């Protein structure tokens, strides 16, 4: 694997990390059709835990099979595949070395009443399964946020010491945030910045809206004339909040949507300097050929070809 100058520059951002961690970051950055560009498209399949199997896979029944997702990520030329323990275990041998994997170590579910997550995997599992990284979710704003941050701190420390990269989903939610607040620009930027401060190598947040949620923040956004007018401007602000762009920031795809709306959003992410997309339901809920065509267009957008 020959590392491009762009990827070498990115690896230099992570000054404290050991060669093992940098090698695994490089593996993710040098895989697939975006290899070497510094851009990423990742397939996450943890929605069965979060939303239930029928809501996740019934629109495309082939996706009930864990092997389907490994093969989809490979056929599409994606950067990595992220999933909880059982999904990774179910294809770990068949697809060993074929695509970088990210073991998602915690999950919530729709049967629970609290905004918390259960830890369902270990760093040892990630090493045993040949993963390049661990993944973890925190809910800034929830009553459990501090516990989740402390759990992440311990797991991230162990992962880095073992030479793994660390991906952090930072999804604001809780009693002081309404639905609009969860994707407000100031809240998304705050959540992304917290993820950077917690030591994540790759940060996952939702695409931000123009809404400003915190009254104290509104004054600053107005007085400093922070541009909220377009998706590109808002993404640029979120990326700036992650150490002035010195951390990799990917944005979720969210609920399934029409292709025109999805592509318009991806162009906004690209133009704002996003590292890329981590897109699940919009991918695996479509028939495979449609999903492959869609992912090719997304990749072309990040390559400035569409």
Q: How many CB atoms lie within 10 A of CB 133?
A: 25
Of 22, 39, 160, 204, the catalytic one is: 204
Q: Is 55 helix (H, G, I), strand (E, B) or coil?
A: helix
Helix (H) or strand (E) holding 171: none
Of 263, 268, 291, 261, nearest to 207 (Cα)?
A: 268
Q: Tell me whether residue 8 is one of the annotated catalytic residues.
A: no
CA 240 – CA 68 distance, rounded (Å): 36
Q: Give whole-number Cα distances, 61 to 53, 104, 180, 301, in Å.
A: 10, 23, 32, 28
Place of tokens 């029409």: 258
CB atoms within 10 A of CB 274: 25
DSSP string, 246-291: TSEEEEE--S---HHHHHHHHHHHHHTT--EEE--HHHHTS-HHHH
CA-to-CA distance for 107 and 49, rounded, in angstroms? 7
* CA pseudo-torsion sign 23, 274, 208, 212: positive
**CB half-sphere exposure, 144, CA atoms < 13 A:** 15
Judged by DSSP in three states, 202 sits in strand
Question: In 3D, which of 279, 245, 247 has the Cα closest to residue 262?
Answer: 279
Are the C-beta atoms of residues 281 and 66 closer than 8 Å to each other?
no
3-state helix, strand, coil in the chain (%, to 5): 45, 15, 40
| Runs of H (alpha helix) within 162-251 | 179-182, 185-197, 215-223, 231-240
- Residues involved in catalysis: 204
């Amino acid at each position: 694997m020959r590392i491009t100058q762009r990827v070498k520059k990115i690896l230099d951002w992570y000054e404290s990390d050991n060669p093992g961690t940098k090698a695994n970051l490089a593996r993710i950055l040098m895989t697939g059709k975006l290899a070497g560009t510094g851009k990423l498209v990742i397939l996450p399949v943890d929605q069965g835990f979060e939303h239930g199997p029928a809501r996740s896979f019934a629109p495309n029944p082939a996706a009930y099979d864990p092997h389907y997702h490994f093969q989809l990520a490979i056929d599409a030329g994606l950067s990595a595949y992220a999933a909880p323990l059982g999904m990774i275990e179910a294809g770990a041998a068949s697809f060993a070395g074929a695509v970088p994997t990210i073991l998602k170590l915690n999950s919530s579910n729709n049967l629970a009443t609290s905004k918390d997550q259960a830890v369902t995997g270990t760093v040892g599992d990630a090493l045993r399964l040949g993963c390049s990284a661990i993944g973890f979710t925190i809910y800034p704003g929830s009553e459990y946020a501090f516990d989740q941050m402390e759990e992440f701190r311990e797991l991230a420390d162990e992962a880095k010491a073992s030479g793994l990269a660390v991906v952090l989903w930072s999804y604001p939610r809780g009693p002081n945030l309404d639905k609009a607040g969860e994707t407000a620009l100031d809240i998304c930027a705050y959540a992304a910045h917290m993820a950077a401060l917690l030591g994540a190598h790759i940060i996952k947040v939702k695409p931000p809206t123009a809404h400003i949620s915190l009254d104290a923040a509104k004054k600053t956004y107005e007085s400093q004339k922070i541009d909220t007018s377009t998706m590109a401007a808002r993404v640029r602000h979120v990326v700036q909040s992650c150490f002035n762009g010195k951390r990799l920031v990917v944005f979720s795809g969210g609920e399934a949507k029409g292709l025109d709306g999805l592509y318009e959003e991806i162009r906004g992410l690209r133009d704002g300097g996003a590292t890329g997309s981590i897109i699940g339901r919009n991918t695996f809920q479509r028939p495979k050929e449609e999903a492959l065509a869609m992912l090719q267009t997304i990749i072309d957008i990040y390559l400035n070809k569409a």
